[in-house]
């Protein structure tokens, strides 16, 4: 028998997978806690949306900006 077959499933999870699992749990708790709607004003537009959705949108915009900036620098 192989030593990996004897280990429990929890022992087979790598530290990186534990971090990913922890971050996922924290994200789910964050969404559950921030379901209230907030108003965001930008120029003449007012948007009413759940806070978690607005923060997620800002994160994605920042991530895309970072990716586009890195591509431009590498050329």
State how many domains the chain has. 1
Confidence at 69, pLDDT banded by 50, 70, 90: confident
For residue 44, report the phi and psi dihedrals to the nearest 5 degrees. Answer: -100, 5
Write the pLDDT tens digit of every residue in 29-65: 887 887 889 998 989 999 899 888 888 888 888 888 8
The whole domain housing 48 covers: 3-74
* Range picked from 5-14, 51-60, 66-75 for highest mean pLDDT: 51-60
Non-local CB neighbours of 47 within 8 Å, separated by 6+ positions: 39, 40, 41, 54
Confidence at 6, pLDDT banded by 50, 70, 90: low
């Amino acid at each position: 028998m192989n030593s990996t077959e004897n280990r429990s499933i929890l022992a087979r999870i790598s530290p990186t997978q534990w971090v990913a699992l922890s971050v996922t749990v924290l994200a789910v708790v964050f969404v559950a806690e921030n379901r209230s709607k907030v108003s965001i004003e930008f120029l003449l537009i007012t948007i009413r949306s759940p806070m978690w959705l607005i923060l997620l949108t800002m994160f994605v915009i920042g991530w895309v900006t970072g990716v586009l900036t890195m591509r431009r620098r590498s050329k």
